[in-house]
Chain A
Amino acid sequence: MIPRVLVHPDDEALAGALRVKVDDKAKGKPMNDNDKDAFRQQVREWLEANCPPSLRTPTPEDEMVWGGSNVGFKTEDQRLWFERMRDKGWFCPDWPKEYGGGGLSRQEVAILEAEQRRLRCRPPQINLGIWMLGPVLLEYGSEEQKKRLLPPMTRGEVRWCQGFSEPNAGSDLANIRTTAKDAGDHFLVDGTKIWTSYGDKSDWMYALVRTDSQAPKHQGISLLVLDMHAPGVSVAPIHLISGKSTFCQVFFDGVEVPKENLIGPLNGGWSLAKKLLQHERSAMSKFGEFSLPTHFHLMPLIQEYLPQPHTPADTALHARATACAMEEAAYNLTVQRMGEEGQAGQDVSGLMAIMKLVHTEQERVKFEVLLDAMGYRALGWAGETFTDQEKAIDKAWLNSFTQTIAGGSSEVQLNVIAKRVLDLPDAPKGAKP
């Protein structure tokens, strides 16, 4: 499941960058088995004592806790779990203690994560800052930036959003036109960002901006962080065909951004963007682990809505549905195979490159079959006549269209497979289609 909250723009070069393996150099002293067992025991006892039993279940989408200045809790347990993990430094267990992290080694983090999975602990909070910007700041930020930006993240005080896509920079992300002009001690930012998830609820944004309009388009881009409450920033939610969405368009009208908010080198933003998206990938996999997938099981629904005995039309529909279920089984087996091949040290980049494409395309076909089988029961938009599930299926069908577009459209995925996996030649420069 590709979570909707973590949609990144569709650029092909960036989608390709996702294939680059995140550096997994072991950090910290290697632990022997006794150390590991002792640490595991310690972690297990702490989690069992501190994670409220009500939060040892999958997280429905409307019960996720988003860290930030206006963090909200539906239950007292959620608050307790949030505060306990925060005080332990385990929002960011592998970050250095000096910035508010837990200071754990990579091996210790692996044990902590395994124990959290074992107990089925919900994530105490979700925050793009920690998952995506944080690791890039740790690697490329100045000492001053780390001291200023990281500790509030580790306390869950700031909610971050991502400013990448623009109306004219979707699949061609490097085409961004939001400008940051040098105005002495600050940049003056003008332009707009689109498809910003939770732009209306976020405190800060990390954004790609154009700092050199003369340079080739990949070389005039910088990474800035900016305050969403600053004068000149306005946000408009986007309504999708499926109804309300978490997406927003963000407008910048002469926004003053202090120079110290430039991350990494001036005009060096493109390579940082690639790094960010690598972290997005690992974040997405964690997210998928924790969240309750909004998943509709096809065959039981088909049985429910197709009356017995089947007419010839029912039989044809049933065969289409079976084919969908079999394709889904093939996909799930491929996910599993990729994991096993990865563990065996084999190159899985060829499999990784198909995952997003296959899953999102399959989902769309699945909803089409489901809609056909359910007839008018799947067409209800509102009202008491339709069950919540029926209305949810309706919305999920419409939402399935966003999935084959966002995060690298299906066509971009195919380009990536053709060029990077199959090694097919590039089109000659200047060739007319």
Chain B
Amino acid sequence: MSLVYSEEHRMLADSARDFLTERSPVAAQRALRDQEDTLGFDPTTWREMIELGWSGIPFAEQYGGLEFGMKGMGAVFEELGRELSPSPMLSSVVLAGSLIGAAGSVDQRQDWLPLLIQGEKRLALAVDEGARHDPSRLSLTAKRESVGYRLSGDKVMVLDGHEADGWIVAARTDEGDDDVSLFLVPAGTSGVSTTRLWLVDSRNVANLHLDNVVLDASYLLGEPGRGKAALERALDHGRVCLAAEMQGICETLFATTLDYLRTRVQFDVRIGSFQALQHRAAWLHVELALARSTLMAALDAIDRGAQDAAAQVSLAKWKVGQMADRVGNEAVQLHGGIGVTDELNIGLYLKRLRVAQASLGDADYHLARYAELSQE
């Protein structure tokens, strides 16, 4: 067990930071927003990230991966957070890639993983149906027919779901009401449509509508009615990467806020000399430190294949979420009036944090999940 990044991880993070500040700084995200870019990310930058090898980090060499583990992925996501850099890394590589790796047949893994790693195809994961994330509440059904399945229903909050090359749709089938079947639905399939959502963070998110979509059994990912464990595993990979992204965002926000406290003068003194503000800043330092420990433990648990990996992931998403609420709110408040202007990047970070918080389970969801997992 190790709660620190290795020398190699740190070197990866350093090079990622250099690349992102140069090629994908916050200013670029602001421009994407102002242009109302429907894709929500820059394909050229995404291609460069792939060339740097980031999309291969968690995968086995046989698929063109680097076998650098979740910790390697976490190190990159922290940096993506610092520059608010959008890409299909979470949706197509971490979520869809992990799910195909965990649930797919040998052929499906062979067919799809190299395409995802090389960025030839972009897949999105469609799970949520209600306003809040809860994969246990699936009602979209796949009815068995003579030649295959008929799917009807709606999915919401599909990350990078707009203009994707396909979607992995979680559905109920007759095989087992309690379990999950996973369908790989290619773009262009008759009866599938998306609605691009415009969320506060301007990223690519879509709702997915399936109207009598007919698929034969070859579109099933793995066995019917056997997808639950693989889905949870893939979601956990996504959750820990979101936690890493949020940690990166919050460390950046905190550094910016400290700079402001050290330089802003009111009442003829620097406001950072006021004890009331010092104590609030000190608590943020505490929260960031605690959150980082849970993040490292979750990354490590996944890499070790630890039995309690799911509980560790929930602990991290919960703790990082708690911390992020506090850091985000305080960053705005301690900046005062300038903190609520669009001129500063603070607001961009705050908005992204809010979306990341709601994605794949918020703090309340993961508290309940942790309690449940701890009782098992």
Interface residues, chain A, with chain B CB atoms under 8 Å away: 299, 318-319, 322-323, 325-327, 329-331, 333-334, 336-337, 340-341, 344, 346, 350-351, 354, 357-358, 411, 413-415, 417-419, 421-428, 431, 433
Q: Which of B13-21, B136-144, B190-198, B268-276 contacts A (4 or more CB under 8 A)?
A: B268-276
Residues of A within 8 A of B296 (CB): 333, 337
Q: Sample 21 A-B pairs with CB under 8 A, ordered by A number.
A: A322-B367, A322-B368, A322-B370, A326-B318, A326-B370, A329-B294, A330-B294, A333-B296, A334-B290, A336-B3, A336-B293, A351-B289, A414-B279, A414-B282, A415-B282, A418-B281, A422-B282, A423-B262, A425-B262, A425-B273, A427-B273
Contacts of B370 in A (CB 8 A): 322, 326
Residues of A within 8 A of B291 (CB): 330
Nearest chain A CB to B78's CB is how many angstroms away? Answer: 15
CA distance A341 to B5 in the complex (A): 9
Chain A residue with the shortest CB-CB distance to B367 = A322
User: Given A326, A346, A417, which contacts B282 in the complex, CB threshold below 8 Å?
Assistant: A417
Q: CA–CA, A414 to B279, complex, Å?
A: 6
**Which residues of A sit under 8 angstroms from B367, Cβ to Cβ?**
319, 322-323, 326
Pair A327/B278 contact, Cβ less than 8 Å: no
Q: How far is the CA of A397 from the CA of B174 in the complex (A)?
A: 54
Question: Digit string of B276-300 for contact with A (CB within 8 Å is 1, else 0)?
Answer: 0011011101100111111011000
CA A333 to CA B292, docked complex, whole Å? 9
Say yes or no: A322-B285 contact (C-beta < 8 A), given A337-B293, A423-B262.
no
Q: Would you call B102 an interface residue if the criterion is a C-beta within 8 Å of the partner chain's C-beta atoms?
A: no
Closest 3 CB pairs of A and B: A418-B278, A333-B293, A417-B282
Q: Closest residue of chain B to A337, judged by CB? A: B3
Q: How far is the CA of A340 from the CA of B279 in the complex (A)?
A: 28
- Minimum distance in angstroms from A239 CB to a CB of chain B: 32
Please state if B374 and A299 are interface contacts (CB–CB under 8 Å): yes
* Pair A424/B272 contact, Cβ less than 8 Å: yes
Q: A326-B370, A344-B4, A415-B278 are in contact. Are A424 and B258 (CB under 8 A)?
A: yes
Q: Is B371 an interface residue (CB 8 A)?
A: yes
Bound together, the chains give a CA A336 to CA B2 distance in angstroms of 9
B 235-282 contacts with A by CB, 8 A: 258, 261-262, 269-270, 272-275, 278-279, 281-282
- Interchain nearest-CB distance for B364 vs A (Å): 8
Residue of B nearest to A334 (CB): B293
B190 to chain A, nearest CB (A): 46
The CA of A427 and the CA of B262, in the complex, are separated in Å by: 12
B residues within 8 A CB of A358? 286, 290
Residues of B within 8 A of A344 (CB): 4
Is B315 at the interface (CB under 8 A from chain A)? Answer: yes
Query: CB-nearest residue of chain B relative to A322?
Result: B371
How far does the Cβ of B293 sit from chain A's closest Cβ, in whole Å?
A: 4
**CB under 8 Å from chain A, chain B span 340-376:** 367-368, 370-371, 374
| CA of A418 to CA of B283, assembled, Å | 9
Is B122 an interface residue when CB atoms closer than 8 A count as contact? no
Q: In the complex, A74 Cα to B281 Cα: how many Å? A: 50
Q: Are A418 and B282 in contact (CB under 8 A)?
A: yes
Contact between A334 and B4 (Cβ–Cβ < 8 Å)?
A: no
Size class of the contact patch on chain B: 35 or more
A330-B315, A358-B286 known; A424 vs B293 contact (CB < 8 Å) = no
Name the residue among A318, A331, A427 with the largest chain B CB count within 10 angstroms: A427
Asked whether, in the complex, the Cβ of A354 is within 8 Å of the Cβ of B4, the reply is no
Whether the pair B285, A330 counts as a contact (CB closer than 8 A) is no
Query: What A residues does B285 contact at CB under 8 A?
Result: 350, 354, 417, 421-422
Contact A340 B4 (CB under 8 A): yes
| B273 & A327 in contact (Cβ 8 Å cutoff) | no
User: Complex Cα distance A358/B288, Å?
Assistant: 12
**Is B203 positioned at the interface, with any CB of A under 8 Å from its CB?**
no
Complex formed: what's the CA distance from A223 to B359 in Å? 60
Asked whether B162 is an interface residue with its Cβ less than 8 Å from the other chain, the reply is no
* A414 smallest CB distance to B (angstroms): 4
Is B172 an interface residue when CB atoms closer than 8 A count as contact? no
Partner of A354, one of B279, B281, B286: B286
Query: Which A-chain residue is minimally distant from B4 (CB atoms)?
Result: A340
The contact of B290 among A322, A325, A330, A411, by CB within 8 Å, is A330
A433 to chain B: which residues have CB within 8 Å? 275
Q: List the A side residues contacting B278 at CB < 8 Å.
A: 414-415, 418-419, 422, 424
Query: Which A residues are in CB contact (< 8 Å) with B318?
Result: 326
Interchain CA distance A326-B370 in the complex, whole Å: 8
Q: Is the C-beta of B82 less than 8 angstroms from some C-beta in chain A?
A: no
CB distance from A270 to the nearest CB of B (A): 24
* Complex partner residue of A326 from B258, B286, B319, CB under 8 angstroms: B319
Other-chain residue from B269, B286, B371 in contact with A428 (beta carbon distance below 8 A): B269
A411 to B282, CA, bound (A): 10
Distance from A148 Cβ to chain B, minimum over Cβ atoms (Å): 45
Q: Within residues 293 to 326 of chain B, which ones have a CB less than 8 A from any CB in chain A?
A: 293-294, 296-297, 315, 318-319
The minimal Cβ–Cβ distance linking B275 to chain A, given in whole angstroms, is 7
Residue of A nearest to B7 (CB): A344
Tell me the complex Cα distance, A79–B138, Å: 68
Contact of B297 among A299, A325, A333, A418 (CB under 8 A): A333
Query: With A and B bound together, what is the CA distance between A427 and B297 in angstroms?
Result: 38
Minimum CB–CB distance for B268 against chain A, Å:
8
> For the complex, what is the distance from the CA of A334 to the CA of B261, rounded to whole Å?
27
Is the beta-carbon distance between B275 and A415 smaller than 8 angstroms?
yes
Q: Once the chains are docked, how many angstroms separate the CA of A417 from the CA of B285?
A: 8
Chain A residues within 8 Å of B279, by CB: 411, 414-415, 418
